[in-house]
Amino acid sequence: MAIWNEKAAPKRDPVPVPPAPAPTPPRVEANVNQDLPRRSAEREAKESLIAADLTIEGKIDGAGHVRIAGRFKGDINVQGHLTIEVGAKVNGAVRATAVIIAGELEGNIDAAQRVELLDTGVLNGDLKAGSLTVAAGSRMRGQVEFGWEEKPAQKAPLRMEIGSAS
């Protein structure tokens, strides 16, 4: 019955509601940094991993972060962070922006801005860095130089001769 001369809507058979689709699991991308806290934009760079069950011999050269959990023999030169995990072993010279040692490094570290030698870390070699943090329990054998800023090479003074041309 309609009130105020409204037309009543015709009755329809109930339409069956299809069941809701099963929720899809969230997409997980392979990213070794996903559980690590983000400290800065520099920390968000791509990170390469040498897993614990790998042994590699060669050379690492490039930009980005490198995390070694296995064994690596060769020189490492990266514009980024190098992390040597507990139980990992590296034999070779290292050049990196920052070096964190929780495993073992046999070789020299040259011109790093920051080096952290954690309590399980072992360094057999010389170290040259902007700053050094050494945890109690860590071990090191070699010479250390830190805290000295490298000054850019001084340019030779410009020499001019003024004379008359004949």
Question: What does pLDDT average to over the chain?
Answer: 79
Q: What is the 3-state secondary structure (H, E, C) of 31-44?
A: CCCCCCCCCCCHHH
Our separate counts of H helices and E strands in the chain read 0, 16
The whole-model pTM stands at: 0.64
What is the three-class DSSP state of 46?
Answer: coil
Residue 3 has pLDDT above 50, yes or no: yes
| Cβ 68 vs Cβ 85: under 8 Å | yes
Segment 21-28 shows an average pLDDT of: 50
If one compares 24 and 31, the residue with the highest pLDDT of the two is 24
If one compares 149 and 51, the residue with the highest pLDDT of the two is 51
Question: Max Cα separation, the chain?
Answer: 121
Q: What is the pLDDT of residue 34?
A: 44
| Cβ 54 vs Cβ 68: under 8 Å | no
With cut-offs at 50, 70 and 90, classify the pLDDT of residue 148: confident
DSSP string across 101-122: ESSEEES-EEEEEEEEE-TT-E
Euclidean distance between CA atoms 119 and 101, whole angstroms: 9
Residue 105 has pLDDT above 70, yes or no: yes
Count CB-CB contacts under 10 A for residue 118. Answer: 18
108 token code pair: 């020299």
Q: What is the pLDDT of residue 103?
A: 97
Residue 27 has pLDDT above 80, yes or no: no
In this prediction, what percent of the chain has a pLDDT beyond 90? 57
Q: What is the pLDDT of residue 138?
A: 96
Q: What is the pLDDT of residue 79?
A: 94
DSSP state of 107: S
Phi, psi at 94, each rounded to 5°:
-125, 130
> For 109-130, how does the pLDDT look when each residue is reduced to its tens digit (9 = 90+)?
997 899 999 999 999 999 999 9
> For 32-87, how does the pLDDT look when each residue is reduced to its tens digit (9 = 90+)?
444 444 444 444 668 899 999 999 999 999 999 999 999 999 999 999 999 999 99
